[in-house]
Structure 1
Amino acid sequence: MLFSQEEYDARLAGVRSRMAKQGLSALLVTDPSNIYYLTGYNAWSFYTPQLVFVPADGPMLLFARAMDAGGAFRTTWLPEDCIVGYPEQYVHRPHIHPFDWVAFALRERFLIAPAAKGCVGLEMDSHFFSPKAYRSLVNAIPEWTLVDSFELINWVRVIKSPTEIQLMRGAAQVCMAAMAAAVETIDVGVRQCDAAAAISQAQITGANGIGGDYPSIVPMLPTGEAADTPHLTWNDERFETGQSVVIELSGAHKRYHTPLARTLTLGPTPSNVAKLAEAVSDGINAVLTEVKPGVPVRELARTWNWTLAKYGLEKPSRIGYSIGIGYPPDWGERTISIRSEDESVLAENMTFHLIGGMWMDNYGYELSESIRVTSDGVETFTSFPRELLQKGS
């Protein structure tokens, strides 16, 4: 197993403690990151319905497509009798859903009535929990009161164990190799798709003996005037002199992610980009000096906003979020966001992607760091130069 049984037991205990506080007698887990966190199950099977049934007491049950369930024991610590496969005939059918079968399987195991004593939590904001899946459960198990669990497991995941931190450090090694490949490959005349290919190869090859995993998000390469928009990927056009390229990517190792963003200019750096880079650099450095246990998250946002204001700038979007385990389409944990209205307080071994992204009219700049809150300050997972990068004269 990737983690000790004691760590998995502690995770389940943490989840059940939070379940009790929220009045939940059972929890249905459909987010692949949370399934991985609790059970270790890891496969590209989340495009078909799957869930883990977590009762208040007793063993968890993993339900997956039969062809996936048959080999699930190769990654999960669950005993084989707790891994249940639903029949192939339920896959992608218009009038039936796999959760129809799962509901009956729970009923056969006499697990419906005990869970009806309280509310049953659902991951209502999970990317892989569809309206049809919800309707199936409502119709098949009328005894249950189904409620949103409000990212229950995601909040348990916020503070990382020492083993998780080491995996994120491994992901950081992969990340730096991928960013180095990006900077080496991107140049005037090179196709954007070829740069993306070089980045992807480095992400999977890994670095320093650490193998890479597939990242939750593909490399993002907003280029030229399109750098005023985040989350753009690539095309087959060639890079041109005078363009700025925003590079945002992540290293992934054993499903743990450490993202990183840098901006590269091809040729002389435009004055507006240089001014933006100075402001962002000052803002990020100011925030990093504030990070330590006990500091309210809103104070980090306040420091960032105050620094930008000195340059006559403002950023309405958040400047970071909690990170850790990730599956497509996102590497964020959907819990803490670094913004002025967040009421969270920093604690040791919380991990974040701190993002200084500024998207203006027809130009932009981004610089980010993946960080860990230490006992008395901050650890940056990568050591890539924290500056505006430039190629050509």
Structure 2
Amino acid sequence: MSRTVFPSSEYDRRIERTKARMAEEGLDALFVSDPANMNYLTGYDGWSFYVHQGLVVLPDRDEPVWVGRSMDANGARATTRLDEDSLRPYSDDYVQSPHDLHPMDAVADVLEEFGVDDGRIGLEMDAYYFTAKSYTRLQSNLPEATFEDHTLLVNWIRIKKTDAELEYMREAARISENAMQAGLDAVEEGVPEYEAAEAIYSALIDGTEEFGGDYPSIVPLLPSGDHTGTPHLTWSDRTFEDGDPVLIELAGCRHRYHSPLARTTYVGDPPEEIQETADIVVEGMEAALDIAEPGVTCEAVEQAWRETIAQYGVEKKDRIGYSMGLGYPPDWGEHTASLRPGDETVLEENMTFHTIPGLWFDDFGVELSETFVVTSNGAEPLADFPRKLFTS
């Protein structure tokens, strides 16, 4: 029996919306290779994205056609409600083949089977797992087809969440709260970074008393000391020392839906410079959240942050957030709307964002983040966790 986490009607609605967008773009087929989009449209869930796989979406076919490694076909049967006729497994000799075989040959066969080998075919050309070889192989197999880049076609459909999706994100936020507390509790002078990472990972999987957690798309990030000026470092054998700032960024995950959360702690008594920086970050974050509501643009949210920190002579040129939710490694972002200058995307109810307006300097950094949903009453942070500089 399929273990899909949404009713069939939810997947049917998503597929129909995708077909409508395809019609607007004049596409005869869409090949979906982003594992998050595969999950969104069918529920497919497996650690199989390290080999080529995907869905072929056709305007006149109710179900997408799953194309993947033969040993993963049972995974499709276990996690989707696709009919057997919608599964096209390819044999294992296509995987990293020493012969002249490639999984895109199987994709080309499906496109030819349904008579679109000379049609306009959309590809997710900037998806992480769609390679240059995949593109050239499809071209050589289907020389009469016209291939077009529609990387974000499904991603933009995903940007507004249903109530069921939001419930999973709220559950993920409960996991994030537990994991953040576990990480903060573990950071002490003399403790190696990997022990803090272990405590965080354990809490992410333990979840809550009511439900467990899934693996996050991004591992816990844990730079400390003078490395906190670089936000995307993981852990090491280094032990925490008195005088260390420590950044913790993590995400609870529930049925592949994330709720990222970041906080900063300090080993010992923080110097005035770091405390003042933390206060500025908190004030700027709250200014951004206060303005985020339906009808406001993404760039207006970032402007509220920028104008707040400018009062203290501080400037940050990076974006301060992005749309996110459903995800697979290496990212939980949707790659659509960003909270930054020039992004005129208008916020709508049920959009979800991770806003992370950290400040990173050469010798230290301070990081704070919230995941929020846009509601009729404004931004609703999903996690309930103090916004302050912690100490240990």
**Per the shorter chain, which TM-score range?**
over 0.9
Aligned 1:110-259 pairs, distance under 5 A: 110-113=114-117, 116-117=118-119, 119-259=120-260
Partner of 2:96: 92
Alpha-carbon distance between aligned partners in 2 of 1:130 and 1:330, rounded to the nearest angstrom: 17
What is the letter of the counterpart of residue 351 of structure 1? T
- Shift in Å, 1:5: 1.6
- Shift in Å, 1:150: 3.6
- Shift in Å, 1:300: 0.6
Alpha-carbon distance between aligned partners in 2 of 1:341 and 1:200, rounded to the nearest angstrom: 37
Partner of 1:68: 72
Alpha-carbon distance between aligned partners in 1 of 2:368 and 2:329, rounded to the nearest angstrom: 22
Alpha-carbon distance between aligned partners in 2 of 1:269 and 1:110, rounded to the nearest angstrom: 65
SS at match of 2:284: helix
- Shift in Å, 1:294: 0.7
Partner of 1:50: 53
Partner of 1:379: 380
SS at match of 2:358: strand
SS at match of 2:356: strand
Partner of 1:6: 9
Partner of 1:320: 321
Aligned 1:359-374 pairs, distance under 5 A: 359-374=360-375
- Shift in Å, 1:70: 2.9
Query: How many residues are matched?
Result: 387
Alpha-carbon distance between aligned partners in 2 of 1:320 and 1:153, rounded to the nearest angstrom: 20
SS at match of 2:248: strand
Q: Percent identity?
A: 47
Alpha-carbon distance between aligned partners in 1 of 2:274 and 2:198, rounded to the nearest angstrom: 27
Alpha-carbon distance between aligned partners in 2 of 1:305 and 1:110, rounded to the nearest angstrom: 52
* Pair 1:17 & 2:16 matched: no
What is the letter of the counterpart of residue 98 of structure 1? P
- Shift in Å, 1:105: 4.0
* Pair 1:77 & 2:81 matched: yes
Could you report, residue by residue, the CA deviation over 1:253-274 in whole angstroms, capped at 9, with x for unpaired residues?
0000000000000101022211
SS at match of 2:57: strand
- Shift in Å, 1:56: 1.6
Alpha-carbon distance between aligned partners in 1 of 2:182 and 2:101, rounded to the nearest angstrom: 47
> TM-score, normalization: structure 1?
0.96
Distance change (3 Å), C-alpha of 1:231 and 1:149: same
Could you report, residue by residue, the CA deviation over 1:241-264 in whole angstroms, capped at 9, with x for unpaired residues?
010000000000000000000000
Alpha-carbon distance between aligned partners in 1 of 2:8 and 2:195, rounded to the nearest angstrom: 43
Partner of 1:301: 302
What is the letter of the counterpart of residue 343 of structure 2? D
C-alpha contact (below 8 Å) 1:86/1:102 kept by paired residues: no
C-alpha contact (below 8 Å) 2:127/2:151 kept by paired residues: no
Alpha-carbon distance between aligned partners in 1 of 2:75 and 2:324, rounded to the nearest angstrom: 29
What is the letter of the counterpart of residue 96 of structure 1? L
Alpha-carbon distance between aligned partners in 1 of 2:163 and 2:83, rounded to the nearest angstrom: 26
C-alpha contact (below 8 Å) 1:298/1:343 kept by paired residues: yes
SS at match of 1:227: helix
Alpha-carbon distance between aligned partners in 1 of 2:201 and 2:60, rounded to the nearest angstrom: 43
- Shift in Å, 1:293: 0.6
Aligned 1:103-114 pairs, distance under 5 A: 103-107=108-112, 109-113=113-117
> TM-score, normalization: structure 2?
0.97
Gaps of 5+ in 2: none
C-alpha contact (below 8 Å) 2:93/2:101 kept by paired residues: no
Could you report, residue by residue, the CA deviation over 1:53-94 in whole angstroms, capped at 9, with x for unpaired residues?
001221310001000013311101211221111011111014
After TM superposition, the runs of 4+ consecutive aligned structure 1 residues lying more than 4 A away are none
What is the letter of the counterpart of residue 152 of structure 1? L
Gaps of 5+ in 1: none
Alpha-carbon distance between aligned partners in 2 of 1:166 and 1:27, rounded to the nearest angstrom: 29
Alpha-carbon distance between aligned partners in 2 of 1:269 and 1:244, rounded to the nearest angstrom: 8
- Shift in Å, 1:16: 1.2
What is the letter of the counterpart of residue 313 of structure 1? V
- Shift in Å, 1:213: 0.1
SS at match of 2:101: coil
C-alpha contact (below 8 Å) 2:46/2:75 kept by paired residues: no
Query: Pairwise CA RMSD of aligned residues?
Result: 1.1
